[in-house]
């Protein structure tokens, strides 16, 4: 029987106690895979921006580093993982934005955030492929913790970069929209 395959996109995460394959495509974004080797539970997220969501605007918090990591850890714990056994792998963070200096590269900022976060939370980073100038296609097996990474030639990365730019525009527009407020309910 073939394994269940899940593709996650910007701001999404997925975890499973059942054997499954989680896939994602990364440019400057970073994906973190968590695995509990004893319970054989795995999960992955897709982080779009470093930092924290502005929860006053309810703007898709899983796109932001701190929120995405907390949601991923909580998903693992909900599925029955033991926090003390969590192992991490991190991928992405490529410098794919033309005309932006390396120190202002969002991929580098997300990568730095992820490695710092994992260290502070005492979650061991067992493998990573961060930085460079090529995007990555990541395939993660939830039951074994194995991750396979294929680098994307820079000619194809422009498509990934374009998708990330469109997502950034959508995120900024969503932040600017006022939220709906109901003061009275006629019922």
Residues designated catalytic: 29
Q: Within a 10 A sphere around the Cβ of 11, how many other Cβ atoms? A: 23
**Under a CB-based contact definition with an 8 Å cutoff, are residues 34 and 117 in contact?**
no
**Under a CB-based contact definition with an 8 Å cutoff, are residues 30 and 13 in contact?**
no
Read off the tokens for 129: 């492929």
Query: Which residues have C-beta within 8 Å of that of residue 124, sequence separation ≥ 6?
Result: 86, 87, 88, 118
Read off the tokens for 54: 């502005």
């Amino acid at each position: 029987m073939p394994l269940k395959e899940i593709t996650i996109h910007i701001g999404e995460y997925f975890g499973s106690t059942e054997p499954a394959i989680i896939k994602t495509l990364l440019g400057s974004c970073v994906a973190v895979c968590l695995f509990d080797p004893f319970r054989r539970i795995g999960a992955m997220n897709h982080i779009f921006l470093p930092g924290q969501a502005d929860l006053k605007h309810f703007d898709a918090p899983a796109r932001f580093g701190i929120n995405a990591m907390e949601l991923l850890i909580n998903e693992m714990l909900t599925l029955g993982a033991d926090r003390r056994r969590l192992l991490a792998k991190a991928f992405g963070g490529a410098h794919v934005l033309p005309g932006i200096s390396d120190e202002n590269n969002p991929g580098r900022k997300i990568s730095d955030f992820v490695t710092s976060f994992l260290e502070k939370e005492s979650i061991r980073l067992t493998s990573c492929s961060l930085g460079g100038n090529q995007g990555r296609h990541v395939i993660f097996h939830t039951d074994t913790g194995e991750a396979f990474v294929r680098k994307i030639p820079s000619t194809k990365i422009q498509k990934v970069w374009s998708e990330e730019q469109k997502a950034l525009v959508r995120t900024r527009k969503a932040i600017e929209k006022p939220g709906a407020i109901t003061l009275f309910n006629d019922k």
